Chain A
Amino acid sequence: MAAPLDVSPVGAEAIPEAVTTGLSGQRIEGRSLGQIAWLRLRRDKVAMASAVFVIFLILVAILGPFLVQNPDTYHSNLLNPTLLSPNGAFGGISLAHPFGVEPQTGRDVLSRIVNGARYSLIIGFLATALAVIIGVFFGLIAGYFGGWVDSLIARAMDVFLAFPLLVFAIALVGVLPTNASFFGISLAGNTLRIGLLIFIIGFFSWPYMGRIIRGQVLSLREREFVDAARSIGARGPYILFRELLPNLWGPILVYATLLIPTNILFEAALSFLGVGIIPPTPSWGDMLSDAVTNGYYYIDPMYMFIPGMAIFLTVMAFNLFGDGLRDALDPRTR
């Protein structure tokens, strides 16, 4: 087995004394490719800042809902009784409501943003995981076996990429019932809807991953270590998952990171169009949609700005982190 990432220099060959002790007498430590990538990543300030923000966001999504107030509590007393816009400047920003309150209901915007983060991230991560699993599996098979298998899978990917996904998602969410059971698991209401969103988003974004994996496998399968494995009698599945897959973690990690923000945006778009998360469960896309369809942007622009900003920062952080990760793992693309 000879996966480059797993190369361990210790004891691999005879090491001259001058190298191990160094010119100044200090011992030069051997570094794995993973360590080198980590060093590069650590030096990339933008990527590190994005990583910190992403971790912060994940913490907010996990712990935040326990720290903020109930997102479904109405505060009609904080609204102008005639116009129903929040009293006070910038959408009713106050100590009790740092992001202001929602027009027409008076619900706390901070707690809706924090609770919305949870659903945005759950859907973004799980849909990406689904896309990665399907994409890697078919990408490996298509790239390694080639021939008619490759043609079949490549055409299937073309079909998926050409699919009018938004239209399909709207139609599918529209026709499905409010409760259903799959393989003995019965789902209802929002749980069903979230499962459905994860499935639709993940199932239709796997070809992006599949194409990249297929391209990588096409070049990897001609390498000596694959020939060597084959010559000692290794068969398809072993080569695919033990020889090729470990060499693909870099691109998988990078493209998964870049797929997450796309999927978060897609969830926001579906919620914006009214086929996402079912209210009153908060969602960033839904808040933006309310701002537009209910005309809040006119009486309270802050209410549009805050969820817009949340989506913007999240998507940008994931994208910048993904870019940094790619640069660190594969400096040639820089």
Chain B
Amino acid sequence: MNRRKSLGLVALGATAALAVAACGSSPSTAKTTSAFDEAITKVVNPSNAKTNGTLVFDAAVTPDSTDYDNTYYAFMWDFVRLYSMPLMTYKSCPGTCGEQLVPDLATGPGVVSDNGLEWTYHIQPDVKFQNGVTVTSEDVKYGIERTFAKNILPNGPTYYQVLLAPQNATCAASMASGGNTGCYPGPYVDPSVNEMGLNAITTPNSTTIVFHLAHPFSDFNYVVAIPQSTPVLPSWDTGAHGGANFQLDPISTGPYEFQSYTLNKQLVLVRNPNWNPATDPQAKQLVNKIIVNWNMNQNTVDQDQIAGYADMDIQGLGVQTAAKDKILTTPSLKADADDAINGFLRFAYINEQVIPNVHCREAIEYAANKVTLQDAYGGSIIGGQIATTVMPPNILGYKSFDLYNAVSDPTGDIAAAKQQLSLCGKPNGFTTGLAYRSDRPQDVLAAQALEAALNQVGIKTVLSGYPTGTYYSNYAGVPAYVHSHDLGISMGGWGADWPDGYGFLDELSNGNSIAPAGNTNISEINDPTINSLFAEAANDNNAASRLAIWPQIDKDIMAQAAILPIVYQKVLLYRNPNVTNVYMDDYYGMYNYAVLGLK
């Protein structure tokens, strides 16, 4: 409805763009039309014009939570920046530039003590909550304390629980055996003044916060860039919008605040009057209102975008087959779309316990037909480019290499596979189980493609489909189940919590990541070299030398043939030509939502 009004401002937007062009920036910004893939490397429709328009997001899903302390969805981490200010954040700029950490609420990156155990941040003194109250370091601490109340806020990551010094000796002993007895239970359980508070975080004054770690952890700045470090006013987190209901009206420190939220149906954000752009340069407050319509049908979302009823698909996973066909075959629509790498790797775990001989695993790497596997995930456009490494190219520390000729011989090197099988002592092949998620069409097709390819060298696979909801908790993520059911291969996908090798590789290949259930190191890689490289990186506070460690680990994993990379996933994103400041942010793997405006 407001879009009609916003049309009157097109001229203003265009003038602004011309003005920018005149100031010496690239002349192409004056163009009224954009090109295919343009938003991957630069800002499309750059503009700082404020409008009375309404920006409409559609979603085919419901969020795990709109509470910034309780969400683990990539698109929510992108979206919550509209109403939150964590200590650190990612720079708002296109492509890999968007992977740089910059201070947000903090005045600078954390200062680490000599022993690597204390991280100190100073926060900006003049940032206000939406109700006008000034933010203090106590509020940041309270926000992090909330994330310990896992019974009330179960969804977010658990880095603080793992990294911070244990609350007391009981907790330390319990954590060593995988429990949490005696550990800090979160602010809702024990609000008494004396016991109150997580003692691993101290606040010497109202603008300083100090984190005390159990072990040195050089990537800690990335941890506080997760939305969980957003300040929360303790008095707000009570009553009707406290605890689990906090998500209905989370207190805002960002450019927008909640006007109304009908759970899982519609969310309406309006301008936050107490937000000061000078304190938050990574976000913009350009439109009057932002609406998110949740829980729609994906095809409806796609059609809404093309028809202009919606400005953006919040999930950022791209359009589906029907819309893909329409966009790619209509030049005017194609010009408003981007086919971008979203930071996910699609791959198959090869279990080192079930298939202990490295040559047998290498035979799988060689025999796999990378073309049919790529097609299973949607081909080169919405599937992705054929992967040869564990880390995707957008991860800091990525180095390209190809141990199994995946690029030079994409349909599979049968001769090399047979040679490896002979070295393994099984020249006629062997039989193993292949686990996949039966309710994910792409995984189903990929499992079949792998089965057909391995069959050609005599490796027989028994396909075993499991539901997505329990895939990691009951089946592929339970080593005991994997061993007893002989599941040598399991299909999987992985995206990092932060864009460096640690964020991507630790859960997949660190020996101490192997868990009895919910295991993410399904290959059960427990290699002394890899483990010591991770330990070395955690103690190394020099960013440059840390970056050199990740490709070594990547190569070690590939040399053991513990992971069969399939594609670096790509998504076909459509951007409404009316939306301004659109660009791909390589950290989120989708458009950056914090800066969007309307023409």
Which residues of A come within 8 Å of B, CB atoms? 72-74, 76, 79, 81-85, 104-106, 174, 177-178, 188-189, 274, 278-280, 290, 293-296, 298-299
| A82–B328 touching, CB < 8 Å | yes
B52 to chain A, nearest CB (A): 37
| A299–B462 touching, CB < 8 Å | no
B residues within 8 A CB of A290?
441
CA distance A83 to B379 in the complex (A): 8
User: Majority SS of interface residues in chain B?
Assistant: helix
CA distance A60 to B164 in the complex (A): 67
CA distance A26 to B270 in the complex (A): 100
6 residue pairs of the A-B complex, CB under 8 angstroms, read A85-B325, A105-B445, A178-B433, A178-B485, A278-B465, A295-B320
| B441–A83 touching, CB < 8 Å | no
B residues within 8 A CB of A299?
321-322, 325
| A83–B452 touching, CB < 8 Å | no
Segment of B37-45, B122-130, B368-376 in the binding face: B368-376
CA distance A72 to B462 in the complex (A): 15
Given contacts A73-B452, A294-B321, 15 further A-B contacts (CB under 8 A): A76-B371, A81-B380, A82-B328, A83-B325, A104-B378, A105-B375, A105-B376, A189-B462, A280-B451, A280-B463, A295-B320, A295-B321, A295-B322, A296-B321, A299-B321
B371 to chain A, nearest CB (A): 5
CA distance A85 to B381 in the complex (A): 13
A residues within 8 A CB of B369?
74
Contact of B378 among A73, A84, A177, A280 (CB under 8 A): A84
Whether B448 is near chain A, meaning CB under 8 Å from some CB there, is: yes
The residue on B at minimum CB distance from A278 is B463
CA distance A85 to B321 in the complex (A): 10
B residues within 8 A CB of A274?
438-439, 465
| B441–A82 touching, CB < 8 Å | no
CA distance A278 to B461 in the complex (A): 13
CA distance A84 to B378 in the complex (A): 7
A residues within 8 A CB of B463?
189, 278-280
| A174–B464 touching, CB < 8 Å | no
B residues within 8 A CB of A278?
463, 465
| A104–B328 touching, CB < 8 Å | no
The residue on B at minimum CB distance from A290 is B441
| A82–B379 touching, CB < 8 Å | yes
B residues within 8 A CB of A81?
379-380
User: Majority SS of interface residues in chain A?
Assistant: loop
Interface hits, B426-447 → A, CB 8 Å:
433, 438-439, 441, 444-445, 447
CA distance A76 to B380 in the complex (A): 13
Whether B396 is near chain A, meaning CB under 8 Å from some CB there, is: no
| A298–B321 touching, CB < 8 Å | yes
The residue on A at minimum CB distance from B463 is A278
CA distance A156 to B320 in the complex (A): 47
| B465–A293 touching, CB < 8 Å | no
CA distance A293 to B441 in the complex (A): 7
Whether B324 is near chain A, meaning CB under 8 Å from some CB there, is: yes
| A279–B448 touching, CB < 8 Å | yes
| A84–B379 touching, CB < 8 Å | yes
The residue on B at minimum CB distance from A75 is B372
| B372–A76 touching, CB < 8 Å | yes
- Pick from B320, B325, B369 the residue with the most CB of A within 10 Å: B325
CA distance A189 to B464 in the complex (A): 8
| B379–A279 touching, CB < 8 Å | no
Contact A72 to B452, CB < 8 A, known contacts A278-B465, A295-B321: yes
Whether B449 is near chain A, meaning CB under 8 Å from some CB there, is: yes
B526 to chain A, nearest CB (A): 27
B348 to chain A, nearest CB (A): 16
A residues within 8 A CB of B485?
177-178
B441 to chain A, nearest CB (A): 5
B residues within 8 A CB of A296?
321
CA distance A177 to B484 in the complex (A): 12
| B448–A104 touching, CB < 8 Å | no
> Interface digits, B313-333 against A, CB 8 Å rule (1 contact, 0 not)?
000000011101100110000
| A298–B322 touching, CB < 8 Å | yes
| A279–B378 touching, CB < 8 Å | no
B524 to chain A, nearest CB (A): 20
B residues within 8 A CB of A83?
324-325, 328-329, 379, 381
B303 to chain A, nearest CB (A): 11
CA distance A76 to B375 in the complex (A): 8
A161 to chain B, nearest CB (A): 29
CA distance A177 to B462 in the complex (A): 13
Contact A178 to B462, CB < 8 A, known contacts A81-B379, A82-B328, A280-B451: yes
Contact of B452 among A84, A188, A280 (CB under 8 A): A280
B residues within 8 A CB of A105?
372, 375-376, 445, 448-449
| B380–A174 touching, CB < 8 Å | no
| A104–B376 touching, CB < 8 Å | yes
CA distance A323 to B57 in the complex (A): 55
Contact A294 to B328, CB < 8 A, known contacts A105-B372, A178-B485, A280-B452: no
Whether B467 is near chain A, meaning CB under 8 Å from some CB there, is: yes
| B380–A188 touching, CB < 8 Å | no
B residues within 8 A CB of A280?
448, 451-452, 463
Interface hits, B480-515 → A, CB 8 Å:
485
| A104–B462 touching, CB < 8 Å | no
B residues within 8 A CB of A76?
371-372, 375
CA distance A194 to B151 in the complex (A): 42
CA distance A278 to B462 in the complex (A): 10
B residues within 8 A CB of A294?
321, 441, 445
B440 to chain A, nearest CB (A): 10
- Pick from A74, A79, A81, A293 the residue with the most CB of B within 10 Å: A74
Interface hits, B505-560 → A, CB 8 Å:
none
A120 to chain B, nearest CB (A): 19
B residues within 8 A CB of A85?
325
CA distance A298 to B325 in the complex (A): 8
Contact of A174 among B378, B381, B462, B467 (CB under 8 A): B467
| B452–A82 touching, CB < 8 Å | no
CA distance A290 to B462 in the complex (A): 21
| B464–A178 touching, CB < 8 Å | yes
B residues within 8 A CB of A174?
467
CA distance A188 to B324 in the complex (A): 39
B residues within 8 A CB of A82?
328, 379-381
Closest 7 CB pairs of A and B: A295-B321, A298-B322, A280-B448, A84-B379, A178-B464, A74-B372, A293-B441
CA distance A174 to B464 in the complex (A): 11
B488 to chain A, nearest CB (A): 14
The residue on B at minimum CB distance from A299 is B325
A residues within 8 A CB of B320?
295
The residue on A at minimum CB distance from B442 is A294
Interface hits, B279-325 → A, CB 8 Å:
299, 320-322, 324-325
B residues within 8 A CB of A74?
369, 372, 449, 452
